[in-house]
Amino acid sequence: MGSTAYLLSVIAVAALATFLTRALPFLLLYRWAQHPLLQHLGRYLPPVLMVLLLLYALKDALVSGQYLLPSLLSLALVTALQLLLRNPLLSILSGTGLYMLLIQTLPPG
C-alpha cells in the first residue's frame, strides 16, 4: 500500500471513530433524554468539568509559584471578558494572548 493511500485510510478511520463517538450517545440515548438523571448530569456536569480543567491548568503554577501571576491575570481577563461579552472565542484568545505576553516579558516567579 502506498504511503498516500495508507495516510488517507488512517485519516478515514480516525474521522469515522470521531464521528461515531460523537453521534452514538445521541442515537442510543434519545429515548431517555427527559430522564431526571440525564437532565441532572446535563445541568451540573459542565461546570464541574470546567472547575477540574481550571485546577489542572493551574496546578503547576499553584504548586511551584512559577508563572502564578501571569496565570491569575489571564484567568481574571478571561472571566471578565466572558461575563461582560459572552464570547468564548474572544475570551479564550485574549486570555491566551495575555498569558503568552506575560510569560515572555515578566521574569518567572
Tens-digit pLDDT profile for residues 4-53:
999 999 999 999 999 999 999 888 888 888 989 989 998 999 999 999 98
Mean pLDDT of 63-78: 92
Instruction: HSE, CB side, 13 Å, CA atoms: give it for residue 56.
Output: 6
Separation CA 24–CA 97 (nearest Å): 36
Give the model's confidence band at 1: pLDDT under 50 very low, under 70 low, under 90 confident, else very high: low
Q: Provide the percentage of residues in the chain whose pLDDT is more than 70.
A: 97
Average pLDDT, whole number, for the chain? 91
Query: Percent of the chain at pLDDT above 90?
Result: 66
Over range 83-97, report the average pLDDT.
96
Q: For residue 80, which amino acid is it?
A: A
Instruction: Band the pLDDT of 109: cuts 50, 70, 90.
Output: low
Question: Measuring CA to CA, how many Å separate 81 from each of 51, 61, 71?
Answer: 18, 22, 15
